[in-house]
Every structure is written in structure tokens, then in C-alpha cells.
Amino acid sequence: MPQFAVPEHAEEGKFVGRRITRVENITLLKGKGQFVDDLPTKKGTAEVAILRSPHAHAEVVSIDYSDALALPGVFAVITGEDMLAETDPMIVGFENPIDYRGVALDKVRYVGEPVAVIAARDRYTAEDAMDLVKVEYKVLKPVIDPVEAAKPEAPLIHTKGDSNCVSRRTFTHGEPDDAFAAAKRTNEITIRYPRNSITPMETYAVIAEHMEETGGFDVTSNFQGPFSVHTVMAMALRIRTSALRHHSPTNSGGSFGSKLTIFPYVVVMCVLARKAGRPVKWIEDRLEHLSSANSAPNRVTRIEAAYDDDGIVSALRMEHWDDHGAYLRAPMPAPIYRMHGVSTNGYDIRHLEVVNNIMITNKCPTGAVRGFGGPQLYFAVERMMQVIATELGIDPLEMLRRNLIKAEQFPYKAIAGALIDSGDYHRTVDETVDQGGLEELKKRRDAARAEGKLYGIGYAACVEPSQSNMGYISTLKTGLERERAGPKDGAVATVTVSVDALGSVNVIGDSVPQGQGHQTTLSQIVADELGLRPHDVVVTLDTDTAKDGWSIAAGNYSCRFAPASCSAAHEAAVKVRTKMARIAATTLNVGVDEIEFTKGKIHAKSNPDNAVPFYRVGGLAHWSPSSLPDEMDPGLRETSHWNAPELTPTTANDEINTSLAYGFGFDFCGVEIDPKTGQVRVDKYVSAHDCGTILNPGLAEGQIRGSYVAAIGATLMEEFKYNEEDGSFLSGTFAEYLVPTAPEVPELTLIHPTPNPSPYTRLGAKGIAEGNQYTTPVCMANAVADALGRKDVSTPLTPSKVFEWLHDTEMQPKGATPPAPAKGKGQAIEGVGETLVPASPQEVWNILLDPEKMANVIPGCHELTEVGSNAYEAVVTLGVGPVKGKFDAKINLTDLDEPKSVTLSGTAQGTLGSSSGSGSVTLEAADGGTRVSYTYEVHLSGKVAAVGGRMVRGAARHLIDRFFKALVRQAGGEDDGGGGKRGLFRRGGS
Amino acid sequence: MTKMERAGRYPVEFNLNGEPVDGFASPRMLLSDFLRHEIGATGTHVGCEHGVCGVCTVKVDGKAVRSCLMFAVQAEGAEIETIEGMAEADGSFSALQEAFHQNFALQCGYCTPGVLMSLSEFLGRNPDPTEDEVKVALSGNICRCTGYHEIVQAAMDAAKAIREGAA
């Protein structure tokens, strides 16, 4: 197993830098973790189910939940009406027309938006009650694409505003216009970065209880921070922030950013708990998570570069349409602003123009996803670099080298404001190329190409920001607005180290871990300072906002732990050490600077025998305050609120040092494309990350490998898909939203370059968890572009997409008519077919127009009533795959040409979603009976579309089949048990 | 076979990690919910309830099973093994757990019980697997933290330790 270079200060006997096994494993490996749903709840705690919108955009005409409330075991139901009466909008960092309260008010704006929230004695009962809530919608036209949404004719999603673009800011750094005018060459590409997330295996979980004593609420959830959002919740609930007591348990089942946007549900559950008069617990299910929890913003970027014949880039222009879905949830639209300072990535580019359009569309609202704005930005920048290299005939790696910031330029002030602390990018690249075997890979490429194979090599570099400046989101305001609001900057981290009366050490902190091994790392840091072993230090990281030290930056996001929490832990440990050294100096009768801490003893440096046990000094501070040095406070508990002065506010000309520490990553890869299937096979993938001091190589390597595989998902498989026409959501299970499993992961060659510690963090550590989110998608896209000689590539690089790129021109057989594009962008279920019915056309016609007989023919039909001339209403029970439900159907018959043809059209609505469709039926006499020919087209929305993607076509065929078998039976044909005569039927294709 | 009523609650008894347990379940109650909320054995987690992610994997009569795809009443009389029964009698890690510990083969630990149950069944069938065979055996378990590399290494180490222990 490759080992990281051991950082310089990991001296003999120190634990920082060592591959210490995780203390967290002791419970987790035995199934004794403490995740939210593992915790005991108070007796009488209700469980919650949420009824969600099947429509992307619709007016909520009425909601009737009286039947649901009447169901035994149901305690309370809340809707938007309750939220409107009892909460204020959940605010974001700037004024906008969005009124967001966590449950739909007048309109639903995405599939999966909560409409009614039900508390019942258990989840099963709550879901039963869900089926009894009647919601009437008036469906509106949705808009899915962010560029379309910006057009004046697009449906307006939030009608208090006048555009779906809720913020547009232009940033000018340097003199981009002059640079473009003076440039010898320019080039431009447009990037479409898709929607995805990194879905944690544990979903959202909230337990909430109303506390009459404070008028507030007690909440336990797997919220991850930033705790600035605690304020948003309390303000929405109209309570004092101190009356919103939030606990996060010891364990959280992954997050990757996702669990930031649990906070609207916290607010909703608080309101529900108060109404139900008892604690409530909500555990999100997987469909809810995929459809409605979170997504990284998809983004369209038009990027333009100015450069010379040598490929030296002088200026970049970018316009982003950043798609945030239906609502903005704090701190959105942060991802695009978090990356603002490093808009020029690791390149020495001194002129820049950026236009940020923050777009609202009818999709799930966005939130944090590992990489936080970086994948979108770097995909554009790194594609641009490759396109320029290709145009100029320069090796793309040489192109990178010519533009990268040089070692002697650090700390480097990027043109948009990032103060890039340290690095030696050229050395990192050289080490990666040498150790990763690039020359060998090039030979493999040449050999493959000589055999006619489609083989490409891609490269990508990235600056990896860590520890966010709390002020960066203010960059979206104008200088004047910022001045009015007051300065925002810094990022405070809080850790407390205490030593008790028997000298045992306890550490608490605000890092809210989700599996990264924070307990282990902090024990290493504190043990080193106090001359102890890691297992002498007990680290407790569940949080309680009423008791713990924390500030607005608290939480687990944007690679905050290594630079921030570790610095705070180090500082708190040093404070404890300093105090104990003073006490020991008195006892040992030596100067304070003579004191050392080694192996559980405090002793004089020059005479180790002049020593006192660590625990005894701890005891003195508690048992004998009178024997402490003058003016020393008793006890041993030191809290560090650590902040870095480099995190300054946005300047008047919009420069912002968005993060504190900046690592560097460099990847290259070789891919081969199978021309028969379009599959991208990764031949070799090499990745290197310089993240400064490595605190624990086992943990650091885990972060890189985890990020790499998450990025493999984003690159090759994962995408939240929506029907562009009706906005229905199509990725509701892990069978639709594909994530990598063990056999699908290409081997990673991990290089450990020479580290360049950060001068701004106390241990020199920088974040490491996000690097491959930045590099891998574009590195592979560059390789595919290289293999295909193609300029326009996008992720995910699915076989069907790559196959289309390969074959869109050359594979079309001469003279063949291309298949007509399906309506609804190919997402409708369509089919044609015919069958022979043993009755005359007139008899068949009579059945089709007789409600009683049709009720027997329509699969799953319970009731069919004529409600007007050739208009019917029906109740049908239908199932697709794992879901089954009741639908209210409306059917109209038009274009009646007795007894020859008729058109059926209609809609169906139920808890599983809604559908609309039409079909035409033609009857003609044949073989002593009637040949019934039909075509149909069905659109689905809601749950059935989200989870049934793979199955609905088959299910539709099956239903049509059942329909005609029943028709044959009704017409007096023989019933073979399954219905219908075999051999008479020809299944309709779809 | 008696027909169960939807609203009814029926006694369910089985052996969990060698000890008899019992409780009441409605006919539609999932085995995963029964284990976690009726018995209180929360070591088995729930990840998708669609039978895709493998988080809820337990062993039923020796076979790895998705406990979200099985009703509690179907487990009547079965021998069920979960993560809680994996450690040695003295509380120390089994070879598989120890290999996970040494290899950093878990991060958040949420999928880990399911992964361990799948692997324990697999290594029982195939005590000397190749890395590729381990990967295929893991293809029904999604882990979003580790990237699988360390899990595969741990499985290989565990297989070796078990083989050597048995020899």
C-alpha cells in the first residue's frame, strides 16, 4: 500500500502524521453506532410521512385531509397553510422574490415538493393516511432548462418577481476587454454540467419536540452545518436562537454536503410537533432523498479565452447560468461564489470577467455536494485549456505547464482575490508524470491507435480550496449593499480541551463528523501536545447547541476540518499545555521554558528525573486552587475560538479570498472507447494531491479514494434526470440513479507528491476530500475528447451518449429514414399494435361505448361512470414494479366514427403520481371478426415516473395486453384462463 | 396457511445470533423494521428499501438476504445473523472486523454491517477468492465513502487470516 510522505514535523514519538487506526471503528464495526434512527425516542413519539407533489409546476387548488386525520392513529397533518400562519420565510443572503417555507404554499414548483406532512403512531399508518389526502392541482407549464428559464417567455416560477433569474452580477478583474482586444487568438466553448449529488447511505433524519418552557424546540438531526443556518431556522420559527436546541448524534451516515439542506425539514417538523402535541420523528426514504433532498446546481457556462500562439492565456470570460431549482435554501447560491476567488484555477491569468446568473427552474432545490461549485467551474476551465492546446497543436500537458502559477509566486494573489497560500505546481506535475508512468501510457495509446482503437489521454489540474471564508457569499451583493449590511469575513472554529481531576483528557468540538475520522485525528493532535497517547484522549463530537462552544462556521463542509478544527484543537491543547507547564514549573522548581511533556510525565528538559506525573498536575488544578501560581484560574478547561486573519471581507472591487488554504491536484488518464457499445473503459487513472501536512495517512488516503469513486460516478453514471417537457423526475431509485459499485471502479494509481504545508493553518494541513470531484470528470472528458477528436463533450459519459457521438453521422445507413423523434424528448411511453377480436366491428364498438362493459375491460377498474357525453370517470388500481396505487381517471372519447375509429384521451391522478395519455383505435372487419389496431402515447409524472423508469414500458405493454384480452373475452371470445386466445395477439411494440 | 389480516399483529419468534427473540408484527412489517424497532437490534441499517443498496443485508438460515425485502412474519422460526453477533465471544473483533479496522475499510460505517454480512457469507462459500471475485461479491452493496478499495483489501486480508486460522 502506498504511504504518504511523512511531514517534517512528525518527529519521533509524535502521533500526527502516523497511520493510527480509527477509534470510531470500535462501535461501528459491531453495529453499535449512534445514528439518529438508532437513538431511543420518548414514548409517544409520532412518525412522519410526507405527501409530495407529482407535478413540476402546478397551482394547489385545494387540499382536503379530513379523511387522513380521521384514520385511527393519525395525530396531526400540516400543510402550507400552517407554515404560512406559524413561520416566516427561510431567508437567504440577498433579497429575492422567493417565499420558501418548506411546504408548498400556493403552488408546487418541483416534483417531490412537500404538500402535506402527517404525524401518526408509526410510519406505516402515516403512509396509509397519505393516500387519503385529496389534493387538486391545476397543472402549469414548467421550465427545466436554466437558459430557457432566463427567456422572457418562460413560465415565471415565483410570481412576486419578474424573472426566473433572481440574481445577475458581472465581475471584472483586471482589464479583460483590453486583453481580449489585444489577444492574437480567442476561442469559446459552452459547457453543460449536469445535475448530480453524492447520495449518503443514511438519509435525512429529524426528531423534533416543542419545549413549552422556552417556547422553542429540541431537535436531534443529522444536520451537518454550517451553523449559520441555525439562525435561519430559528428566525423562520419566530423564536430566539437560544430556544432552538439542536443535537447532532455521534454518528452520521455520510453526507458529502447533502445533509446541509435538511434544515427546512427541521423547521417543518418543529411546526408539526407543536401541532401534534408530541415529539415527531421523520426518517426520509430513498425516493424522497433522490427526488427532493438535494442536488449540486447544474450549470451552463459559456467560456471564452484570449491567448497567444504559444498558448499563454491572458484572459478568461465566463458567463454562468447556475441552476438552483425551485427555491434557494441558505447558503445557496454559495457554490458558485465559493469558487469565485479561484475562477482562474491554478493558472497565472491576470484578466477575468465573470457573469453569474442565478436561475430558478422547476427542479429540486440545490444544496451542498462535495466539490461545491468546483466541478462545474473547472470542467469549463480545463476543457478550455485542452481545446486551445488542440487548436494550437501543443501537447495539453505542456499547455498546462506554461500557464500554471510558478513556485516562486506563492503566496499568490489570484486576480479574483484568492490568496493561494503555498504550492509547487510544476514539481507536483513532474512527480505525478514520472511516478504515474505517463510515457508508458503514451506508448500504450500509440499502440492502441495503430490498431485502429479509439484511445485518448486526458489531463486536469485543480486548486483545492479548504475552509471557507464566511464572507464570500456577500460577493453576490454590490459593494454598496455590502457596506450597508456590515462586514462579513473569517471562519471561527471551536474546540475545547479539558483535563479532569485525575488527569484524564477530554476534547469536544464543532466539526460534526460524518465518517472522516475526526475523533481519531483530534486525539492524535492533542496527545502530541500533552505528551500522551491518542487513546488517552477521549474525543466526543456529538453536538448540543445549548452547551457546546460553536459559532456560525461550525460544521462539516468545504474541507473545513483539517485547516480549521485541527488548528483550533492544536491551539486549545497548547493553552492547556501552557497552563499545566506553569503549574509544573512551580512544583519542579524550574523555569516554564524548561518544561516538557513526555509519555504521561511533565519534566524538566535538562533533567528528566525531575518529573511529576501528568495526572498530578491535572489534580492540583482541581483539588488545590490555592497551590496554583498567582492569578491563575482554577480548573483545566481551555476553549479555542480559532480564526485566520487571512480570511478578509470582499473588497470594494469584488475580490475575495474565498478560502484559507489551497491544495493542488493533478490527474491524467488513458481511456479506450468501445465503438460497438460506446462504453468508456478506463485504461489507467493517475491522481496526485498536495494537501500540505498529512495528519493521518490512512484517513487521508480514504478521503482521496472516496472522492475518486464519487467522481467516477459523476463522470460515467450519475445524473438526476427530468423530462424536459413536463418536468417529471426520472431517477427515483438506485436502479435509475446509478452509482458505482465495487466491480465498476477503475483502479486508481495514487501518487503522493512532496507536500507544501500551508503557512496559514497551525499544522500546515489543507483539505483533501474534494480533489477528485474537481479533476476526474474533466480529466476523463478531456481523454474522451482526445479519443474522438471532439470538442463538445459532457458528463455523464454514459455508453448511450458516447455511442451517439460516435455514430451520429457515419452510422446512419444510406437512404434510411431516421426514426421520428418521440414527443416529450423520448420519455413518453408509446406503442402501436393490433389484435383480432371475434366479434363484428359494430359489436366491438358497442362494448367500447358501454360504461358497464368497459369497466370489465379496463385493467384494475373498480368503477366507471359516465359523466357527460362520451366522458367517463373511473377508479383504477394499477401497479408498476414495487409500487401499486389507486388512480382517479378521466377519459374522453373524441373523433367518433362509428364503427370505424375513435380517439381516447385522458388523465389519471393518484398518490403514485399522475399521467396523461391518448390513443386511437381503428376497427376493421377481418377473418370473420374485427381487427383492432391501436396507437398510444402516455406521459407519467410523480412517483411512478421516478421509480418505474425501467419498468413502465413493459408494464404499459402488459396493461394494453390485458385490455385487449379482456376485450376479446367481453366480445365472447374464449377465455384461456389468462384471457384471450393465444396466437391471435401480436404484442404492441413501444 | 392462515390468512393474515392487514390490521392484525402476529407473534414472530426466531433466533437472532443464536438467542431466541420474539415480538409482534403486522403482516406488512419489514424484517428490517422488526429487527430495528421491535427487537432493538439497530446494528442492521436501512439504505433504500428498494432492495438495491445492500445496507440492510442480514443472514437468514445462512444466506445473505435483504431484510428490507422480507416481511418479519416470513422470518418465523429462522436462524438470523446480524452484525451484533459477529464479534468473538470475548468481545474482540472477528477476523473480518479486524481486517476492516486495520485497512481503514469503513468511514461513516452506515453501510458496513451490510457489507460485513455479505462478505461473511461470501467468504464462507469461497475462502480463497481473487480480488475480482470479492468485487463481484460486493456488487450488491453500495458504499459511498470509501471507494471500495480498502474494503476489497480487507476482505482479502480477512480471507487469508481465516484460512491461516483454520489451518
Half-sphere exposure of A32 (CA within 13 A, CB side): 10
Cα(A768)–Cα(A965) distance, integer angstroms: 61
User: Which residues make Cβ contacts (< 8 Å) with residue A9, sequence separation at least 6?
Assistant: A16, A17, A693, A763, A764
Distance from CA of A21 to the nearest CA of B (A): 6
* B108 and B80 within one domain: no
For residue B89, tell me if it sits in a domain: no
Cα(A70)–Cα(A923) distance, integer angstroms: 48
Under 8 Å between Cβ of A466 and A526: no
* B160 and B130 within one domain: yes
Give the residue numbers spanning the domain of B73: 10-84
| CA distances, A203 to each of A351, A427, A569 (Å) | 43, 42, 30
* B76 and B30 within one domain: yes
User: Which residues make Cβ contacts (< 8 Å) with residue A717, sequence separation at least 6?
Assistant: A738, A739, A740, A744, A796, A798
CATH number of the domain to which B156 belongs: 1.10.150.120
For residue B125, tell me if it sits in a domain: yes
- Nearest CA to A186 out of A302, A307, A303, A301 is that of A307
Q: Closest to A515 (Cβ–Cβ): which among B102, B141, B145?
A: B145
For residue B156, tell me if it sits in a domain: yes
CA angle, corner A974, sides to A969 and A979, nearest 5?
55
Under 8 Å between Cβ of A372 and A335: yes
Return the axis-axis angle of helices B112-125 and B149-166, rounded to nearest 10°: 40
Cα(A644)–Cα(A567) distance, integer angstroms: 10
Q: What domains can you pick out in chain A, each with its CATH number?
A: 41-140+201-254+258-293 (3.90.1170.50), 148-196+295-465+663-806 (3.30.365.10), 492-642 (3.30.365.10), 828-989 (3.30.530.20)
DSSP A959: H
Q: Among residues B27, B54, B84, which one ends one of the domains?
A: B84
Cell numbers found for residue A343: 475562477
Please provide the DSSP assignment of A544-609 as one string: ETTTS---TT-SS-TT-IIIIIHHHHHHHHHHHHHHHHHHHHHHHTS-GGGEEEETTEEEESS-TT
Please provide the DSSP assignment of A146-157 as one string: HHHHTSTTSPPS
For residue B151, tell me if it sits in a domain: yes
User: What does the pLDDT look like over B89-120, one tens digit per residue?
Assistant: 999 999 999 999 999 999 999 999 999 999 99
| CA distances, A540 to each of A251, A498, A722, A771, A871 (Å) | 11, 12, 42, 28, 66
**Residue B100: closest C-alpha in chain A:** A29
- Predicted pLDDT at B167: 63
Distance from CA of B40 to the nearest CA of A (A): 8
- Nearest CA to A989 out of A819, A815, A735, A811 is that of A819
User: What does the pLDDT look like over A713-729, one tens digit per residue?
Assistant: 999 999 999 999 999 99
- Predicted pLDDT at A866: 86
Cell numbers found for residue B86: 459477529
Higher pLDDT, B7 or A186: A186
- The verdict on B55 touching A (C-beta cutoff 8 Å) is yes
Q: Best residue in A123, A201, A202, A717 to probe B by mutation, most B CBs within 10 Å?
A: A201
What are the start-end ranges of the E strands in A97-197? 107-108, 114-120, 134-139, 165-173, 185-193
Q: Closest to A709 (Cβ–Cβ): which among B28, B47, B147?
A: B147
Q: Best residue in A21, A22, A29, A699 to probe B by mutation, most B CBs within 10 Å?
A: A29
Distance from CA of A690 to the nearest CA of B (A): 20
Strand, helix or coil for residue A49: strand
User: Which residues make Cβ contacts (< 8 Å) with residue A834, sequence separation at least 6?
Assistant: A931, A932, A933, A934, A986, A988
Edge-to-edge strands, sheet with A58-64: A107-108, A58-64, A134-139
- Predicted pLDDT at A822: 39
Distance from CA of A577 to the nearest CA of B (A): 31
- Predicted pLDDT at A249: 97
Q: Among residues B84, B104, B129, which one ends one of the domains?
A: B84
Q: What is the ipTM of this complex?
A: 0.98
Distance from CA of B157 to the nearest CA of A (A): 13
For chain B, the domain total comes to 2
* B24 and B61 within one domain: yes
Distance from CA of A283 to the nearest CA of B (A): 10
For residue B133, tell me if it sits in a domain: yes
| CA distances, A908 to each of A25, A446, A888 (Å) | 50, 58, 5
For residue B18, tell me if it sits in a domain: yes
Pairing of strands B19-25, B10-16: antiparallel
| CA distances, A412 to each of A341, A469, A868 (Å) | 12, 17, 75
Q: Residue A593: exposed, middle, or buried by beta-carbon count in 10 A (0-12, 13-18, 19+)?
A: exposed
**Residue B102: closest C-alpha in chain A:** A21
Contact yes or no for A739 and B28 at CB 8 A: no
Pairing of strands A601-604, A611-613: antiparallel
- Predicted pLDDT at A946: 79
Strand, helix or coil for residue A326: coil
Which residues of chain A register pLDDT less than 50?
1-10, 810-826, 975-990
- Could you say which residues from 9 to 48 on chain B have a Cβ atom under 8 Å away from some Cβ of chain A? 26, 28-29, 36, 41-48
Cα(A922)–Cα(A930) distance, integer angstroms: 10
Under 8 Å between Cβ of A988 and A965: no
Q: Best residue in A1, A26, A28 to probe B by mutation, most B CBs within 10 Å?
A: A28
* B74 and B21 within one domain: yes
Q: Residue A920: exposed, middle, or buried by beta-carbon count in 10 A (0-12, 13-18, 19+)?
A: middle
| CA distances, A608 to each of A12, A328, A594, A598 (Å) | 17, 61, 10, 9
**Residue B107: closest C-alpha in chain A:** A515
Contact yes or no for B109 and A28 at CB 8 A: yes
CA angle, corner A384, sides to A379 and A388, nearest 5?
155
User: Which residues make Cβ contacts (< 8 Å) with residue A932, sequence separation at least 6?
Assistant: A834, A835, A836, A837, A844, A921, A922, A923, A964, A967
Contact yes or no for B148 and A742 at CB 8 A: yes
- Predicted pLDDT at A906: 85
Cα(A963)–Cα(A586) distance, integer angstroms: 94
Q: Among residues B84, B110, B144, which one ends one of the domains?
A: B84
* B118 and B59 within one domain: no
* B114 and B75 within one domain: no
* Radius of gyration, CA atoms only, chain B: 16
Contact yes or no for A30 and B43 at CB 8 A: yes
Distance from CA of A22 to the nearest CA of B (A): 7
**Residue A740: closest C-alpha in chain B:** B142
User: Which residues make Cβ contacts (< 8 Å) with residue A103, sequence separation at least 6?
Assistant: A78, A79, A80, A82, A83, A114, A115, A116, A117, A268
- The verdict on B147 touching A (C-beta cutoff 8 Å) is yes
- Could you say which residues from 87 to 146 on chain B have a Cβ atom under 8 Å away from some Cβ of chain A? 87, 93, 97, 100-102, 104, 106-113, 116, 132, 134-136, 138-146
Contact yes or no for A21 and B104 at CB 8 A: yes
* B122 and B61 within one domain: no
- Predicted pLDDT at A515: 97
In the numeric block, the cell 453506532 is attached to A33
* B161 and B121 within one domain: yes
Question: Which H helix or E strand runs over B114?
Answer: helix B112-125
For residue B62, tell me if it sits in a domain: yes
Q: Best residue in B33, B116, B149 to probe A by mutation, most A CBs within 10 Å?
A: B149
* B122 and B66 within one domain: no
